[in-house]
Amino acid sequence: MARAAADLAEQIKKVRYEYAREIGRGGMGKILEAVDKPLRRSVALKVLVRRGDEENQIRFIREARITGALEHPSIIPVHELNVDEKGELFYTMKFVRGVTLLETLQNLARHDPETVRR
């Protein structure tokens, strides 16, 4: 194996994602900003909050697969569904910077001119 390929294989064998911060949370999971180290890009990484629950794991996997099968400019693409070195489920998505729906609604309630214009 060439040295560059061997170096990449070693990187991937180690922890692939470097977690940065929590950027969102829902009923079943939380979203972390992470860096995909081999590709050197930011991704959104979703993990289960209640990991031991079999039903939640099934729902989580189904959510990732359904979302991953969708193709539309307004749907964030899923990159990977996997299990980490601790056996925890996760999936990664394109990381999109911007304003959340909650922030938009709060800005509209304050009659923010730029938000109203958009």
Predicted confidence at residue 62, as pLDDT, reads: 95
Q: pLDDT tens digits, residue range 94-111?
A: 999 888 888 889 999 999
10 burial class (0-12, 13-18, 19+ CB within 10 angstroms)? exposed
Q: Angle at the Cα of 39 (from 79 to 6), degrees rounded to 5?
A: 115
- Domains of the chain plus CATH, in order, are 8-117 (3.30.200.20)
47 forms beta bridges with 30, 90
User: Which DSSP state fits 87?
Assistant: S
pTM for the full predicted model = 0.78
Task: For the chain, list residues with pLDDT below 50.
Answer: none
